[in-house]
Chain A
C-alpha cells in the first residue's frame, strides 16, 4: 500500500507545462475494404451491425485524442471488443491506424520511416503481453535479453543486464530455466523483466494480469506500483478490471465501442461518472477507496492537529487515525505546505454516502 501513498495528485496531462510523452490526435482504426472512407463520415456513427451490413467495415476505434505526461500511469479500461487492445497496438503501429497521428517523445510515429519506427520500438517503448508471449525455445535470460539483442548489445552486456533485471522482478538465479517450467505469475514477471531490460521511456501493458488468478494478480499489481515508484516510467495500461484501473491509474479512460466515454482521475470517474454506462461500472466502488483527502478537506483552522497527512491519501486510509483522536488531521501537499484540514465528520460523511 505504500506505493499508493506516493502517487501524485491530479492529472499531470493537463496544464500543458510539460510536453506530453505520448500524444494521440484523431486516431481511427477501421477494418474492411477501403476503410479510410469511413473515417469522419456520417456512416461512422451508425450502429456497428448496420455499418457492417452497409459498408462491410467495422470501426474498432474512433477519433481518439489522448495525452500522457512523462511519468504518468494512464489506464485504458473497457470490456472486450471496446477497442482498447487496438489502441495500444496502434501506438507503436503493431496495428496500422487508419487515420490520425501518434507522437511519442516528440517523434511522429505515424509518419516515421521504418528505421525510425524500429528505433522507437527498440529503445523507447516496451510492451507486456496478456499471455506473456515468452519465446518457449529460449531460457529466461535469453528471453529477457531479447530486446537488448535486437538493439545489438554484445552478449556479455545483455546477459548481465538480463540477470539483474530478473533479480529486480524477484526471479533471482532462475535465468537458465525455460518458460514452461514457470507458473503463470512467474512467466509474467519474466515478461515484465523483458520489457524493463531495454530501459524504455514508455511501458505498454496489454491486459497483462488478466490471465492470472486473483492473488497473483494483486501481487503483480503491487510489483507495478513498486516499479512505478522506483523507475518512474510512463505507462499505458490496458485492463478490463475496474479495481485494477483504480489501483494503478493516475488517470483512467473508460472505453466503449471504440471511443473514450470518460477520461479522468479515479476520483473523478467514481464521483462524477459521465454517463449511465460509467455509472453502472463504478456503482459498487466504495467512495472512500478513491476519494483523496484533498477533495474533502476544510480550510485550515486554528488547530491543534492530530498529525499531518499527504493530500493524495485516500479517505479510507485515514479512518483509523481520525477515529482515535479528537483533533482533525492537517493536510499537506507534496512540498510539505499545509493546505487544509480534515476531521471525523468529513471522513464519516464519505463513508456514509458510499451506498447511495
Chain B
C-alpha cells in the first residue's frame, strides 16, 4: 500500500512542474529511503512524542482564573480594555435604541440611497423591515451593535496596517504570516483565549469578531494600494508629493473601489463570526439560534437565523451599491452640491422618523404587525422530514444519502487513514509538497503534520485513550470527502456559468445570498434534513464551500482575455476546444484559487460541523469551550491540530496555483 501511495505521488510530478524532472534522481532516492523508514517504524504515534502541550495550556488557564483580579495583566490591561469595549457596544446600542425602528429604517434607507441609489435603499429598508416583522428586533439590535463596534475597531487596526504592508515588503511578509494564520484558524480556536482574557458577554464577542475581520481589512487595503499603477505613483512623485500626500492624493483615491470592497468584506466577515461569538453569552440573535439548535427546535432556530440573513443582506446591499451599479460610480457623477443636499435630506428623514417614533412611543414594531413563523416552520419541517428523508424514488431520501456517505465513504476512509503508519502520511505529504513547490514547503508541511503527533492523547475511545493523531485523521477524512464533493459540484457548475450567461444569471442570486449567509445558518436545514452525524457535517461544509468555488471558477473563465479566444475561434476551434485549449489553461490560476478557497471554507466549518455531530477534532475543540476548567488543554491541542491540517492543505493547493520555485529573481 505504501509503495502505491508513493508512486502515485511521484507519477504526478510532470504536472507539477518541469523543475522536478530536471533534478530527478537524488530526490527519488531520498523519497524511497524516507518511505522505507516510515513504513518500518511504529505505525502509531509514539508516546514519547507528547510534548505536554495540554498540561501547559491547562496550567496557564488555571493561573489566569486564579489571578484575574490581582495580576496587573488583568487589572492594568485586559479589564480596562474590556470595559472600554463594553462601553462602546452599549453606546452604539443606546443610539440604536434611541433611533427606534423607524429611525433605523430611515438611516438604512439614507445610507443605501447615498451609496447605491434607490435600489440599494429599497432592498436595505425591506430587509431591515423583515427583521422587525419577525419580532426579534431587540436581539437584532444587540447583534448589530456588537458588529458595528467590531467593524469600527477592525478598520482602525486594519487600514493602517494595510497601508504599512502596502508600502513595505518586509512588513508585508511579517504581517501576512499572521493574517494567513488568523484566516485558516477556525474561529472557535481563538474564542477560548479570548474568553480567558476578556471575560464574558460583549467584549470577547467583539474581540473575536475583530480578529476575524482584520485580515480582509488589511489585505484589501494593501491590495488596493499595491494595485495603483506604477505610473500613477511616478506622477505623484514626479510632481513632488511627500509620502503622506502620495497616500492621500493619489493612492487612496485610486484604490477607492478596492477599499470599499474591503469595507464590505470586513462587514460580511464580521457577520459570519459575530453569531458564533454569541456563544459567549450575549443576548443576541446567534444565541437564540444556538438555543433552538440545542433543543432541536428548528422553528425557534430558524426565525433568528432568518433575521441574521436579513441583517446581513441589508448591510451588504447598502455597502456594495456602488460596486453592483454601472462601471461609473454614481457618487462620483453627482456634483458635490447634490451629494451634500442628499446627505441633508437623509439626515432630516432620520431625525423626523426618530422624533415621530418618540412622540408616538414606538420602540419595536407593534405586536400586531409582527409574525411568528416558527410554528409554521416546524409544521413544514415535519412534512419535509416525513417526505424527503426516506423513501424518495431513485435518490432514496436525505437520510439514505447520509447513511451511504457515512457507511461507505467516510468510515472506510477514516479507518484507512488511521491504519496507515503515521510517518508514512507525513512523508507522503512532504513528497507532494516538494513536487508542488520545493523543499521549503515540504519541510513546513512535514513539521505541521508531525506537530499534530506531539499533541498527545485524550480520554475516551477504545482502550480509554485516543491519540489526537487518530482524531485528526477522522477530521481529515471528513475534510477530504467534503473537498472532493464540493469541487465535483462546483467546478462543472462554475465552468458552465463561466460560459453561459443564462446559467450565470440563474445562479447569481443564490451565490449572492450564500455569500452573505453566516456559516452557522446552514446548519439549521442540514440538521433537520440529514439528522445529526458526520454526514450532516460534510453536507454543511459542502454547502458552505461550493458557492465561492463556483464564483471564482466562473470569474476566472470570464476574465480570460478575448484576444486568445478569438484567435482560437478564427483557427476553427470548437466550443469544446476553445474551453480545453484556451480558457481552462488561462483560467488555471483562478480555478486553483477557487479550489484553495473551497478548502479553507471546508476547514472553517470543521468545528461548526461538530455542532451537528461530526465529532473528531471539532468536537474536542468545542468541548473545551463549554467546560474550560476540565478540558481546556485538549481543546487547545485539537484547535492547533486543525490549524496544522489547514496550513498543510492550504499551502499545497496554493502552490498548485503558483507552480514550483523558480530562480531567485522571480
Binding site for B on A (CB under 8 A): 32, 56, 89, 92, 94, 118-123, 125-127, 129-131, 133, 135-138, 146-147, 149-151, 178, 180, 194, 198, 204
Contact = CB atoms under 8 A, between A and B. Distances in A.
Contacts of A92: 238
A150 B256 contact: no
B248 to A, nearest CB: 11
19 contacts: A118-B242, A120-B240, A122-B239, A122-B240, A127-B238, A127-B239, A130-B231, A135-B249, A135-B250, A135-B253, A137-B332, A146-B235, A146-B239, A150-B239, A150-B241, A150-B245, A150-B249, A151-B240, A198-B239
Contacts of B234: 89, 94, 127, 129, 133
B232 A133 contact: yes
Contacts of B242: 118
Contacts of B665: 32, 56
Nearest to B256: A137
A130 B238 CA distance: 14
A121 B231 contact: no
Contacts of B241: 150
B327 to A, nearest CB: 9
A126 B238 contact: yes
A63 to B, nearest CB: 24
Interface string B475-487: 0000000000000
Contacts of A198: 239
A119 B240 contact: yes
Contacts of B328: 180
10 closest A-B pairs by beta carbon, nearest first, are: A122-B240, A121-B240, A133-B235, A127-B238, A137-B253, A147-B239, A133-B231, A118-B240, A94-B234, A150-B240
B239 A135 contact: no
Given A119-B240, A147-B240, A135 B664 contact: no
Of the candidates B232, B234, B240, B241, the one having the most CB atoms from chain A within 10 angstroms of its own CB is B240
Nearest to B664: A56
A121 B237 contact: yes
Contact of B254 (A94, A136, A149): A136
Given A150-B239, A194-B239, 10 more contacts: A32-B665, A56-B664, A121-B240, A122-B239, A122-B240, A133-B234, A146-B239, A149-B249, A150-B241, A180-B328
A136 B235 CA distance: 12
Nearest to A57: B665
A17 B495 CA distance: 71
B622 to A, nearest CB: 48
Interface string B210-253: 00000000000000000000011011011111100100011001
Interface of B: 231-232, 234-235, 237-242, 245, 249-250, 253-254, 256, 328, 332, 664-665
Central interface residue in B234, B238, B242, by most chain A CB within 10 Å: B238
Contact of B231 (A129, A137, A138, A150): A129
Nearest to B328: A180
Nearest to A142: B249
B232 A126 contact: no
A136 B232 CA distance: 10
Contact of A121 (B239, B250, B256): B239
Contacts of A178: 332
Contacts of A123: 240
Contacts of A94: 234, 237-238
Contacts of A204: 238
A28 B242 CA distance: 26
B256 to A, nearest CB: 7
A338 B254 CA distance: 59
Nearest to A123: B240
A271 B664 CA distance: 46
A110 to B, nearest CB: 16
A255 to B, nearest CB: 20
Contacts of A150: 239-241, 245, 249
A94 B235 CA distance: 9
Contacts of A138: 253
A135 B254 contact: yes
A56 B235 CA distance: 30
Contacts of B232: 133, 135
A313 B214 CA distance: 68
A118 B237 CA distance: 9
B662 to A, nearest CB: 13
Given A118-B240, A150-B240, A129 B253 contact: no
Contacts of B664: 56
A328 B238 CA distance: 51
B633 to A, nearest CB: 47
Contacts of A56: 664-665
B348 to A, nearest CB: 28
A141 to B, nearest CB: 14
A299 B238 CA distance: 50
Contacts of B238: 92, 94, 121, 125-127, 204
Nearest to B232: A133
Contacts of B332: 137, 178
A130 B230 CA distance: 12
A131 B238 CA distance: 15
A118 B241 CA distance: 7
Contacts of A133: 231-232, 234-235
A203 B470 CA distance: 71
A178 B615 CA distance: 59
A135 B235 contact: yes
Nearest to B250: A135
Contacts of A122: 239-240
B535 to A, nearest CB: 52
A118 B231 CA distance: 18
Contacts of B249: 135, 146, 149-150
Given A56-B665, A118-B240, A150-B245, A129 B254 contact: no
Contacts of B231: 129-131, 133
Nearest to B245: A150
B325 to A, nearest CB: 16
Contacts of B254: 135-137
A162 B579 CA distance: 51
Contacts of A180: 328
A25 to B, nearest CB: 22
Contacts of B250: 135
A226 B332 CA distance: 36
Contacts of A119: 240
A198 B241 CA distance: 14
A341 to B, nearest CB: 48
A126 B234 CA distance: 11
Contacts of A89: 234
B329 to A, nearest CB: 10
A135 to B, nearest CB: 7
A207 B253 CA distance: 26
B259 to A, nearest CB: 12
A126 B235 contact: no
B423 to A, nearest CB: 39
A210 to B, nearest CB: 13
A178 B329 CA distance: 13
A159 to B, nearest CB: 15
A281 B242 CA distance: 42
A146 B234 CA distance: 13
A71 to B, nearest CB: 21
A198 B240 CA distance: 11
Contacts of A127: 234-235, 238-239
